[in-house]
Amino acid sequence: MDKMITDLTRLGLSNPEAKVYINLLKKNSLTATEISRLAGINRTQTYDILPKLIQRGMCIETRGSVKRYFAVEPEKVLSSLEKELNEKKDVIKNLNSSLQELYDNNTNKKNPLDFLQVLSSRNSIISRVETLESETKEIVLAFNKPPYAMNIGSSNISQISNEIRKPEQESINSGVTFLSLYEIEPENISSFIKKMKYFEKIGEQVRISTYLPFKMFIFDNQTLMLALRNEADISLSFTTMIFEHSDFSKAMSGIFEIYWKQALTIEEYVQKNKKGE
Mean confidence (pLDDT) of the chain? 84
**DSSP secondary structure, 169-216, as one string:** HHHHHTT-EEEEEEE--TT-HHHHHHHHHHHHHTT-EEEEES--SSEE
Between 113 and 57, where is the model more confident?
57
| pLDDT at res. 263 | 95
Between 110 and 247, where is the model more confident?
247
Give mean pLDDT, residues 71-97: 90
From 93-102, 153-162, 233-242, the region with the lowest mean pLDDT: 153-162
pLDDT band at 114 (very low <50, low <70, confident <90, very high): low
Q: Which of 70, 91, 92, 88 is nearest to 11 (CA)?
A: 88
| pLDDT at res. 112 | 52
Is pLDDT of 60 > 70?
A: yes
pTM of the model: 0.54
**DSSP secondary structure, 235-272, as one string:** T-SEEEEEEE-HHHHHHHHHHHHHHHHHSB-HHHHHHH
Is pLDDT of 72 > 80?
A: yes
Domains in the chain with CATH codes: 2-74 (1.10.10.10), 116-274 (3.30.870.10)
pLDDT band at 94 (very low <50, low <70, confident <90, very high): confident
